[in-house]
Structures are given as structure tokens and as C-alpha cells.
């Protein structure tokens, strides 16, 4: 039997539009967290070529 975590809060990353869940390191500033990773935060101004619905 595996240990299941309780339901954690989720947000949608503003860069990649994927859901991500709360992490302990974000406990103090969860309201201010907008990106799921450093990669998304660093590339926030760039457009992604794998965006859903792109016609390019």
C-alpha cells in the first residue's frame, strides 16, 4: 500500500498553462507563485512552439 498525499492546492502556470501543486518551499509565498519551475519563470517572455492551438 502506498502513501497518498492529501489534496494539495493547485494553480496553472502562466507560462506553460500546465497545472502544478503546492510545495513546502512555497509555503510562505504561495499567493505570489505564478510559475511551475525556474525554466518557465526564465522564459516567461518567450513564446512556446508547442502551444496548443498554434497555427504556424
What are the residue ranges spanned by the domains of the chain? 1-37
State residue 7's pLDDT score: 87
State residue 43's pLDDT score: 87
User: If we measure between CA atoms, which residue out of 2, 33, 29 comes closest to residue 19?
Assistant: 33
Per the confidence metrics, is the pTM higher than 0.85?
A: no
State residue 44's pLDDT score: 67
Residue pair 15/43 in contact by the 8 Å Cβ criterion: yes
State residue 23's pLDDT score: 93
pLDDT in tens, the chain (56 residues): 677 777 899 999 999 999 999 999 999 999 999 999 999 999 866 655 555 555 65
CB atoms within 10 A of CB 4: 6
Amino acid at each position: 500500500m502506498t502513501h497518498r498525499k492529501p489534496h494539495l492546492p493547485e494553480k496553472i502556470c502562466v507560462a506553460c498553462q500546465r497545472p502544478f501543486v503546492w510545495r513546502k518551499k512555497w509555503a510562505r509565498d504561495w499567493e505570489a507563485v505564478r510559475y511551475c519551475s525556474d525554466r518557465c519563470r526564465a522564459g516567461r517572455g518567450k513564446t512556446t512552439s508547442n502551444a496548443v492551438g498554434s497555427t504556424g
